[in-house]
Amino acid sequence: MYRADNLKSLIAGRRILIAGYGREGQSAERLVRTLLPDAPPAVATQVENGRWKDSEGLWHADWPFDLVIKSPGIPNFQFSILNFQLTSLTDLFLQVYADLTIGVTGTKGKSTTSSLIAHLIPGSILAGNIGIPLFDIVEQLDEHSVVVAELSCHQLEVLHRSPHISLVLNLFQEHLDHYPDYMAYKMAKLQIALHQQPSDHFFYCTDNPELRDLVQRLAPRLKGQLHPYSLSDLQPPTSDLLASFPLPGDHNRSNALVACRIAQLATRQPLSAFRSPLSAFTPLRHRMERVGLFRGITWYNDSISTIPEAAIAALRALGRVDTLILGGFDRGIDYSPLVEFLNEHPTKNIVFVGAAGRRIKSQFSIFNFQFILEDDYSKIVPWCAEHTPQGGVVLLSPAAASYDSFKNFEARGDFFAEQIRKL
């Protein structure tokens, strides 16, 4: 294992608790047991008010640990009353392999952009929030490796070292149920750049006001080389390079632009070298995914849309949308920008789903569209088919989380597509 001694030095001689036993927790346990076979860690499936629950479901009030490896799903405040060192899988990985890593975060677009960067850099390894724990790839690493890590705000909360190349795509209100306020969420994201060295690189989009203003405020603390980028950079020949990129919309073109620039920095190839790989990129599912033509109607699955800005971007990208499906689990996000956009660019039909959908509907003062309040997608899809004209477009871009009815946004998008194919 490349740099195994470096990893081992971070955890050896410590009384370790792995907090959370999902995908990352299980990965952390495997690595710790490999590095320290004679000192197995304890595992907490849940942490609450200083107590921890073991794999047998028993709660413990004692805390005989001096190092806790926290999984992303457990909020930091659960540990505030305790005295120990808090770390995470991402934190440990970057303390050893930061120089090999390109880190990508942002409220929206990080999976697509991470996948695109990995696609543009031959031989790179894609991992992180996209579904592959970082500890699961350490056996593959050597001095020439390039790791493209998609990193969520939860993975970035506890960090002592930032990636060699870091990217923040945008900042919008999200995960407000996990943080005390919006600023705490934004600061979690910016950890990806706040622990860089002068030889490192930080890319950020100046078209996003929240991000631009925060970077300006934090500038004295940012040691890496700054690489601001903007849609205004899309002038020939750069705009010609992106002409064949398969995803529609300015937000996708912006993400493709920075992916090319990062790949150029990492590979030292000219931008023109990425023209063919860009055109061959396969878009990820549930992201402006064209389900197909059914009943003379084109259906799009954008279930990844969990904030109003994502829905607005999808509407702008498609241009024509006759029927829009909005709503789901309500996390208290401000929907006024979406309501204002729809007042100025009305659709013919809107389906309002769940508590979020009902709150969005309550903010309209003018109803220049047909609508329905419905939570069951087996009823939503036939209603859309009945009310959307031939040659029209139906878009699922909910601007809300799925947890009121589905395990995740993928399950929501899959069920939506299944119902369409039953028409």
Query: Mean pLDDT over residues 371-382, rounded?
Result: 98
Share of the chain above pLDDT 90, in %: 89
- Is the pLDDT at 37 greater than 80? The verdict is yes
Last residue of a domain, one of 89, 106, 128: 89
Last residue of a domain, one of 60, 89, 118: 89
Written as one string, the DSSP assignment of 99-158 is GGEEEEE-SSSHHHHHHHHHHHSTT-EEEETTTB-GGGGGGG--TT--EEEE--HHHHSS
> pLDDT at position 79, please?
79
> pLDDT at position 376, please?
98
With bands split at pLDDT 50, 70 and 90, how would you rate the model's confidence at 175? Answer: confident
CATH of the domain at 154: 3.40.1190.10
> pLDDT at position 75, please?
82
pTM exceeding the 0.85 threshold for the entire prediction: yes
Q: Are residues 321 and 410 in the same domain?
A: yes
Structure tokens at 337: 């920008």
SS3 216: helix
> pLDDT at position 81, please?
66
- How do residues 119-173 score in pLDDT, each as one tens digit? 999 999 999 999 999 999 999 999 999 999 999 999 999 999 999 999 999 999 8
In which order are the strands placed within the sheet that holds 370-373?
289-294, 297-301, 393-396, 323-327, 349-353, 370-373
Q: Do the Cβ atoms of 351 and 328 come closer than 8 Å?
A: no
Q: Are residues 59 and 116 in the same domain?
A: no
Q: Are residues 124 and 189 in the same domain?
A: yes
Nearest residue to 22 via CA among 2, 5, 43, 39: 43
CATH of the domain at 48: 3.40.50
Furthest-apart CA atoms within the chain: distance in Å: 69
Q: Are residues 140 and 156 in the same domain?
A: yes
Q: Are residues 195 and 336 in the same domain?
A: no
Residue 299, Cα to own-chain centre: how many angstroms?
24
Last residue of a domain, one of 244, 279, 314: 279
